[in-house]
A and B are shown apart, each in its own frame.
Chain A
Amino acid sequence: MFHLPLLPRTRLTCPYCYRVFPEWRIEFRCSGRPGLDGTRCEPEPDERLERFFSTAGVRPHTFRDSRHRYKSVCPVSGTEAFERVCPSCHTTLPLHFGRIRSQLIALVGARDSGKTVFMTVLMHEFENRLGSRLGASIPGADDETRSTFKRDYEQRLYAGRSLPDPTFTVAAERQGYRPPMVFKFKRRTRQTLLSFFDTAGEDLTTRDSVDLNGRYLRAADAVILILDPLQTVGGQRLAASEAQVKDPRPEDDPYHVLQRITEMLKAGHRDRPVPKPLAVVFTKLDALWHDFPEGSALNRKEPSDAGSNERDGRDVHSHVQALLHDWDGGQIDQYLQDNYRHFRYFGVSALGAIPTPDKRVSKVIQPYRVADPILWLLSKAHMVPVIRGH
């Protein structure tokens, strides 16, 4: 059984750039306020921020203080500094980073598989329904997550009812980069940072982008693999007539995507099953609902427990597994069994309905089972209980 460590790590991973560093290397950023003698640090361009995230603008300098954890004093101006930053990318770290656990979750999948929609809806559910369901608070952990996500993704999808554009690639980071979304999950006495990194589908097709993504995947504690059933031959055949089915590109074939991701996860390790839990999520269930018999695990009421419902999860896993054998002949299932120690299948509909041909959502977004994968991963990390029985 896979268990994530319960204690804070001595070696930490930045939830934004996914680089590993010891806690003593955390840096502080000067507040920029004048000190007692009137000395003041002037803002200056931050090369690291620019290099990682193409963030323009100027900020006060950073400095290292290996003797203090939470606050320090700027050696130039003498003012107190509270803002801690990653030594690699200089992004401001969430409050209590290093003292609480971090779960880095990589979200990967082929182009047009619905990763960004899934993530946007999942984040929205975090802030609206999931918190009260779990008895937990799940706010955004930084300004980027709180404001940019709301403005660029949530409002566009929920208020504008428009599907997002294809995610730009990490390889094209000079033109712009989407930093991971970081949430602080707190339930009773336990808390963890959840960092979701959404790769673009194209990131998994070229060697350069694969190398770049490899770092994120290797640093991740868990992986959510998004697969589009409409990109399988069997799934296309069963899809509702109004669903937008495109001719699948060979590089978007779910089996090929899975192979590339597995190679990235295994690179530099012995040939043994990947220990990280992998949630294999089949999206766009709404295009296939009509084909599921009444009473099927994929069209019954989703659980509303304050945790991960094991029995329901196994039923869904078994049902998706059987469908996968119908759609794809079982090669994906066999590959997963050979290469992963912990994996589970999920079926979700992020929108709850098939979008219109012009990529718009015709009615209110009504997600189905979208929280199941993250609840399973959180239960693996002992952050939410496993509900057994009915």
Chain B
Amino acid sequence: MTHDDTADGYVTPFGYSQRLDRGAAAMSEDASCVGQWHVERLCAESGPEVTAAEAREALERQNVRVAELPRLPAEPPMPLALHPDFTDCVARLGRKLSLELVFGNAKYGFRLLDGLRLDDERKLDGEAIEEARRQVPAINRDDSQRVLSVLAEAAQQPGRLDEIVLWEVVQMLRALVRLDYSQRAMTEQVVRLSLERREAETLAAAVAEEYQILKSPRQPPVPVGIPGTRPLTTRPDRTPAPDPASKPASPDPGLGLRPPLQPITDLRSRALPGRTDIVQLSWTQPSAGVIALRAAAKPPPWPAGTAVAAGDMESYGQLLNADGVLGPDQRMSHELTLPSARTFVTAFTVRATDAVSGRTVEITRGAPVRALSAQRFGEELRLTWEWPDEAIAAYVAWQPLAAQDQRGPSAGRQQQRRSRRQYDAEGGFAAVMGHGAQRVEVWAVFRENGKEDVTAPAEIEVSATKVRVSYSFRRVPGRLGAVGARRQHQRQCELVLVCERPCTLPDLIVVECRHPVAPVMPHDDETVTEIPGGPFDPGQPLRRVVDLDPHGPSWVICFADPTQPAARRNQVTLVRPPVEQLRVK
């Protein structure tokens, strides 16, 4: 393409086609499935000549499936609306879906869009839930029983359990999309929950599309408070400011058109899956006034619903710089960076000089541990984190990622409890978790009123070590034995390589040297044998006889050939034998 298709404002059909392909390719980078809204957007962006059918074809050429996206629930299903603590209980149990509590560690996959169906023909019904209730573990028994009783109640009405699971999946995806997860990453997160991949793609596409529609200019986010400025009303408020001497927040008889300010009674804070640094605040937008969120180290002196002067309100705490975003559940939400100390956030409804205090939520309590990090020492993982105030202990659970994908969401899961004193005295948390990739979750434990409670988990994924290839050397006495070999000026040893799982062996070299110490890297002109790389199976050790200089002793060491590319060289970890074995006489 050497000429300009858009010269003089005229776009050739070839230009439209190219723009269409570019647009489709851009979409394919993020998404594997889209709905009609994206098709229309692609048409609009590519030019007036482009039809929906052409846009569909372009997307399909880029392996993007165009699907009819399901209608997503805007509000929680009835059983959850009646039990608002349900979601928190599931999170405290370290589960993403309540379904996991019923089927435990068993292997299953499921579909959701045409009703909940498990691949192995089992059913989520009252019988399965009752069975799970009989086997509730001792840890967090109350939360488990609570969740299962809500499920049992919902199981009495057809379709209710399906709605609950769909709501949980969709809410998880909504949280991810607000964190700027790509659509493909969202899909992978849901696939890990054992949802069938095609359905996971469709649901991720529906949630992503919903979010983009909400973010589009027709529905701007509503500001909830800007430092240094007066909070703005969400709709034009042309009424004059009330007389400062009048009672704040009371209906003004002279201004009968203005509705009274309503306190925010449903401010909530919750941790988001996979995030340890933020919490999500959400609330219902009031019919009048605007919301100002104020944070302080202590709760406000006014109970919720108290009318206060705006000046008094401003003397309490600090205004949070928060932009609320309207969610599909018609609630405003804002992600707040987790404060380091215990903090109370109060929602005030404000209009001019009037304000009404609303609900206060405590942020640190219930927040997950922060700054979770892991360091690997072979099969041992060392974890560190920062505790939320008042946490007394933590549960640490780990699970091989491979097992999670292949054998069900709870396969191979292990859990330990670590008190805060132990953590500080013994240098964090360390456990032998194996060489494979692990997903690690940490819950902080609080004690309140003599009862223990856990926070939402903080999560981290730790990559696997490379495949370990061990080697050893064995002296080869030769046909005439050691003495005969010496007489014939022969000196040989046999290199034996074994691996723990199938891998591709890089090119190897065997080095013989007479340095005072065993070298940690090969030097020039010391290579005695080169072994070409290739597929390597655990059941078939690789043996190679190496001719050495007739005069010993010398160091004989195997290295990955340093002249090959690093990516190939670092495919495996060569595990040295004890240093005595490297000294060959």
Contact = CB atoms under 8 A, between A and B. Distances in A.
Contacts of B468: 295
Given A318-B579, A325-B516, A128 B426 contact: yes
Contact of B580 (A295, A314, A323, A326): A314
Interface in A306-338: 311, 314-315, 317-319, 321-323, 325-326, 330, 333-334
21 contacts: A124-B425, A293-B573, A294-B466, A295-B576, A296-B520, A299-B377, A300-B378, A301-B379, A301-B380, A301-B432, A315-B578, A317-B579, A323-B520, A333-B516, A334-B516, A352-B382, A352-B428, A363-B386, A364-B424, A366-B384, A366-B427
Given A323-B520, A325-B516, A302 B377 contact: yes
Interface in B339-379: 371, 373, 375, 377-379
B317 to A, nearest CB: 28
A243 B520 CA distance: 23
Contact of B371 (A319, A323, A363): A363
B573 A295 contact: yes
B238 interface: no
B578 A311 contact: yes
Contacts of B373: 363
A367 interface: yes
B377 A366 contact: no
Nearest to B381: A301
Contacts of B573: 293-295
B426 A129 contact: yes
A256 B430 CA distance: 38
Contacts of A311: 578
A339 B466 CA distance: 41
A44 B427 CA distance: 45
Contacts of A255: none
Given A295-B574, A299-B377, A364-B423, A325 B515 contact: yes
A367 B427 contact: yes
Contacts of B115: none
B424 A314 contact: no
A267 to B, nearest CB: 29
A364 B378 contact: no
A368 B428 CA distance: 12
Nearest to A324: B517
Interface of A: 124, 128-129, 158, 293-296, 299-302, 311, 314-315, 317-319, 321-323, 325-326, 330, 333-334, 352, 363-368
A242 B558 CA distance: 33
B518 A318 contact: yes
Contacts of B189: none
Contact of B579 (A314, A333, A352, A366): A314
B462 interface: no
Contact of B465 (A294, A315, A317, A363): A294
A83 to B, nearest CB: 32
B286 interface: no
Contacts of A302: 377
A128 B425 contact: yes
B519 interface: yes
A301 B378 contact: yes
A235 to B, nearest CB: 14
Given A129-B426, A295-B468, 19 more contacts: A128-B425, A293-B573, A295-B465, A295-B575, A295-B576, A296-B520, A299-B377, A301-B378, A314-B580, A315-B576, A318-B518, A319-B520, A322-B519, A325-B515, A325-B517, A326-B520, A330-B516, A352-B375, A367-B427
A366 to B, nearest CB: 4
Contacts of B380: 301
A54 B425 CA distance: 32
A323 B518 CA distance: 10
A266 to B, nearest CB: 23
Interface string B417-451: 00000011111101010000000000000000000
Contacts of B423: 364
Contacts of B378: 295, 299-301
Contacts of B517: 318, 321-322, 325, 330, 333
Contacts of B386: 363
A317 B580 CA distance: 12
B578 A368 contact: no
Contacts of A368: 377
B293 to A, nearest CB: 30
A326 B352 CA distance: 72
Contacts of A295: 378, 465, 468, 573-576
Nearest to B583: A318
The winner among B386, B519, B576 for most chain A CB atoms within 10 A is: B576
